[in-house]
Amino acid sequence: MNEKKSKNYNITLIPGDGVGPEIIEATQSVLEASGIKFNWDIQDAGLNIFEKIGDVLPKSTINSIERNKIALKGPTATPLKTGHRSVNVALRKKFDTYAGIRPYKIYPGVQTRYQDVDLVVLRENLEGLYSGVEFEEGRKRTQELIELAAKDNFFIRKDSSISLKIVSRFASKRVFNFAFKYAKENNRKKITVIHKANILKYSDGLFLEVAQEVAKKYPEIEFEDQLIDSLSMNLVRNPEKYDILVCPNLYGDIISDLCAGLVGGLGVCPGANIGDEYAIFEPVHGAMQKYEGLNKTNPTAAILSGVMMLKFLKEFEAAEKIERAISQVIREKKAVTYDIKKESSVGTKEMSGAIIKKIV
């Protein structure tokens, strides 16, 4: 173990926009307090760098991730009405990080109506409606699609815009293989595939079909499927019945926020985007630019994203120490931010400092 702890990990570090630099600085301090050594390769992405060079994702940042294979990222903002795709979507496409992982767990001390929630939303990251393949009203290609649909007796109004929902067997198979392996490695017992195959028979139907095929290879893991609408109701009623939810892209994005509500808000929700070669870790919440520089934002989601990174690096002891420290600080509610305790709250630096003091 001592020999392993002496290794230095090369990590691309992207502070991001808004509150990103503050919570990423806090996360650096906590991760370093665990005893693990890092070589931080600090790079830019998002709105701030766009305003300087006209690019949300500089080549230097891409090169850094290509070298290091792993990135820890703060939230980024997307410039409006410029035609630029969000940094997150661009990174997922560029580095083929097809599995979006968002764990949701209740930490006693965080205000919530629920108990015993401990589930994971695992989202196919690159296809579905969220992939953004769209055809604008009035364009020639849009009219061609409308005419093509009419030949199959589908009526689409001529003044329509069209979005395509893309589901491939290839992408579905690899995300379900990833999901079942993740379940085994993390001692998860059940996978629920989310779909609307009763209506979307070909797209969601293919997603479900592939899930059923892959599930046969893992008889030790319980498997079920559920319609997205009934899932939404049942998550609110009985969230403790779920373990891993595997979703097409857009469903996963929406259900993620629902699950954040179950555990007390986005401030305690980490995330990761993982592929076969690259992994990028980041909090689920946005840049919250109105709080920039105010030392106010809860750093927990970013720090827990760092914990996910440590587990990915197989530094399980350090990950456990940090998560235990976070849990203690939240449970005591003496040094927590305003979203956890309204009165006598502390700032980002003070909360991360309290977490560091608990790391043993």
Strand intervals (E) in 98-155: 99-105, 118-124, 134-135
Overall average pLDDT of the 328-342 stretch: 96
Q: For the chain, what are the domain ranges?
A: 1-97+272-360, 112-128+173-263, 131-164
Q: Specify the CATH architecture of the domain 112-128+173-263.
A: 3-Layer(aba) Sandwich (3.40)
Overall average pLDDT of the 198-215 stretch: 97
Overall average pLDDT of the 189-207 stretch: 97
Domain 1-97+272-360 fold is Isopropylmalate Dehydrogenase (3.40.718)
Q: How confident is the model at residue 2 (pLDDT cuts 50, 70, 90)?
A: very low
pLDDT score recorded for residue 3: 45
Q: Each residue of 292-305: pLDDT tens digit?
A: 999 999 999 999 99
Q: Each residue of 50-102: pLDDT tens digit?
A: 999 999 999 999 999 999 999 999 999 988 755 567 899 999 999 999 999 99
Q: Each residue of 221-270: pLDDT tens digit?
A: 999 999 999 999 999 999 999 999 999 999 999 999 999 999 999 999 99
137-146, 181-190, 325-334: the lowest-pLDDT one: 137-146
pLDDT score recorded for residue 84: 63
Note the maximum CA span of the chain. 68
pLDDT score recorded for residue 5: 47
Question: How many other β-carbons are positioned within 10 Å of the β-carbon of residue 161?
Answer: 11
pLDDT score recorded for residue 82: 59
Does residue 25 carry a pLDDT above 90?
yes
d(CA 264, CA 248): 24
Q: Is 126 exposed, middle or buried (0-12, 13-18, 19+ CB in 10 A)?
A: buried
Sign of CA dihedral 54, 60, 66, 68: negative
